[in-house]
Amino acid sequence: MVRAAVLHAPGESLRLTALELPEPGPGQVRVRIAATGVCHSDLSLARGTLRQAMPVVLGHESAGTVVAVGEGVTRCAPGDRVVLCWAPPDGTCWFCLEGEPWLCEHSSDAASAPYARADGADVYPGLSTGGFAEETVVSERAVLPVPDAVPLEHAALVGCAVMTGVGAVLNTAQVREGQSVLVVGLGGVGLSVVQGARLAGAGQVIVVDRSPDKLELARTMGATDVLEAGGELAKQVRGLTGRRGADHAFNCVGLADTIRASWSATRRGGVTTIVGIGGKEQQVTFTALELFHFARTVQGCVYGSTDPLTDIPRILDFAAQGRLDLGALITGTVGLDGIDGAFAEMSAGRGVRTVVVP
Ligand SMILES: [Zn+2]
Ligand SMILES: [Zn+2]
């Protein structure tokens, strides 16, 4: 039995429950969780904006230590420090063979099969991970080694926010040295975009958010210009970029008006990358003439266009070398009983990443 925070239905509070977690089967690994970041997708899943089979143990941004491995496991052994990947590609589907493993058809399969039991009922692992618990069982494809120089609390964030944000810059948008970058929305992902832009050697990094605290934090991570949300964004950005607009915009919010504003703030031929997950009721409109005239690109970004097998170790190396500041993203630590409070803080736009230490 391990303790876990279980969600029984969208909109309810999480309940601390004893979870019957089976020993790992063939190809599976049991991990003692050291830390799990509270991601905005957890909040969306808890409220029912995103769907997930229930009852569920949410939490998908985790790192920990392998405690047992099932038959045939070759990628790790008990005692290994690992980060969990919530979308492990199978390596065999059409998308994987095309070199787009972030779109793998089977990377989310584990989320739709029960992995444990509580109070006599089947329980599902949130986004295939089940990180809001003392331990979890995942596929060996979902664990990647963490270098000794990186604390597990920091490594956890690489599993989702950091991989998504840094991947958006390096993989999806492929920002080049000297280019100007606009980042709209400074949560864990947005601030990771800022750090990714610094890694890419971006010339200007302009950031927008409602929170003065987050704007200041962004400055310490490489932002060159900070804008408090509410102004006329396109005009402000043109004023900072020789009247042209930014080469790249990263929308980490997912609301229609902010996507439209991000697009308008890019130069002719500029690129807007949509990183934040919006709702299906969010309609973004463009006129046919402006789509032609501005020759801009809008592109979606799933999980930072990441091949986790190669990219997660690469990001962890950046962290080990001190080229990414993961600790600065952590603005709070709670136990398994503090997750609802972390959701409330997140809804209010306070803090960047709360880490759950079971
Ligand atoms: Zn996430
Ligand atoms: Zn695949």
pLDDT tens digit string along 321-354? 999 999 999 999 999 999 999 999 999 888 899 9
Residue with tokens 């962290």: 319
Which ligand has the minimum distance to the alpha carbon of residue 141? 2
pLDDT at position 279 over 90: no
Give 64's strand partners.
Answer: 33, 82
CA of 303 to the centre of ligand 2 (A): 14
**Ligand 2 centroid to 141 CA: how many Å?**
12
What is the rounded average pLDDT for all residues in the chain?
A: 96
Average pLDDT over residues 159-176: 98
- Residue 320 CA to ligand 2 centre (angstroms): 29
Burial of 221 (0-12, 13-18, 19+ CB in 10 A): buried
Ligand nearest to the CA of 103: 2
CA distance linking residue 1 with residue 18, whole number of Å: 6
Rounded-to-10 torsion of CA 216, 222, 224, 229: -50
Q: Which two tokens stand for residue 179?
A: 């280019």
pLDDT single digits (tens) 236-257: 999 999 999 999 999 999 999 9
C-alpha–C-alpha distance, residues 316 and 81, integer Å: 12
pLDDT of residue 350: 87
Among all ligands shown, which has an atom nearest to the Cα of 58?
1
The rounded distance, in Å, linking the Cα atoms of 86 and 313 is 15
How many CB atoms are closer than 10 A to CB 270?
25
Q: Which ligand is nearest to the CA of 129?
A: 1
**Nearest bound ligand to CA 108?**
2
The mean pLDDT of 306-333, rounded to a whole number, is: 96
Residue 151, burial from CB neighbour count under 10 angstroms (0-12, 13-18, 19+): middle
Q: What is the pLDDT of residues 174-188, one digit of tens each?
A: 999 999 999 999 999
Cα–ligand 1 centroid distance for 62 (angstroms)? 10
| Residue 141 clears pLDDT 90, i.e. is over it | yes
Ligand nearest to the CA of 156: 1
Question: Ligand 1: distance of its center to the CA of 20 in Å?
Answer: 25
- CA 299 – ligand 2 centroid, Å: 21
CA distances 208 to 251, 264, 271, 312, Å, are 10, 14, 17, 27
What letter represents residue 153's amino acid? Answer: E
- Write out the residues surrounding ion ligand 1, Cβ under 5 A: 39, 41, 160
Q: Evaluate whether 134 touches 64 at the Cβ level (below 8 Å).
A: no
What are the strands of the beta sheet with 116-118, ordered from one edge? Answer: 56-57, 121-125, 116-118
Task: Report how far ligand 1's centroid is from the alpha carbon of 59 (Å).
Answer: 8
